[in-house]
């Protein structure tokens, strides 16, 4: 029930509740720079301008989450 740009607070709360480390978490998020329907998986790295991912990195104090980027393409 949080805004997407503040979702890191919810992710961090769930991680604490279930004793998860950042490397145990998979973030699934949209990616404007990927063609519609294309996916990529990556471990760690920067938020690449995605505010939801930036929020998770900040709240968890780590960038070691696995990211599944789902392409939505540019309009």
Instruction: State both tokens at 20.
Output: 């998860």
Instruction: State both tokens at 56.
Output: 């998770």
H-type helices in 18-60, by residue range? 51-60
Q: What is the pLDDT of residues 22-54, one digit of tens each?
A: 999 999 999 999 999 999 999 999 998 899 999
Count of other CB atoms within 10 angstroms of residue 35: 10
Angle subtended by helix axes 8-17 and 51-60, to nearest 10: 40
Tokens 């029930």 appear where?
Answer: 1
Q: What is the pLDDT of residues 4-27, one digit of tens each?
A: 789 999 999 999 999 999 999 999
């Amino acid at each position: 029930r949080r805004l997407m740009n503040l979702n890191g607070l919810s992710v961090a709360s769930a991680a604490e509740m279930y004793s998860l480390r950042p490397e145990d978490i998979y973030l699934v998020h949209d990616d404007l720079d990927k063609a519609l329907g294309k996916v990529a998986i990556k471990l760690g790295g920067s938020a690449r301008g995605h505010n939801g991912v930036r929020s998770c990195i900040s709240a968890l104090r780590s960038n070691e989450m696995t990211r599944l980027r789902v392409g939505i393409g540019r309009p």
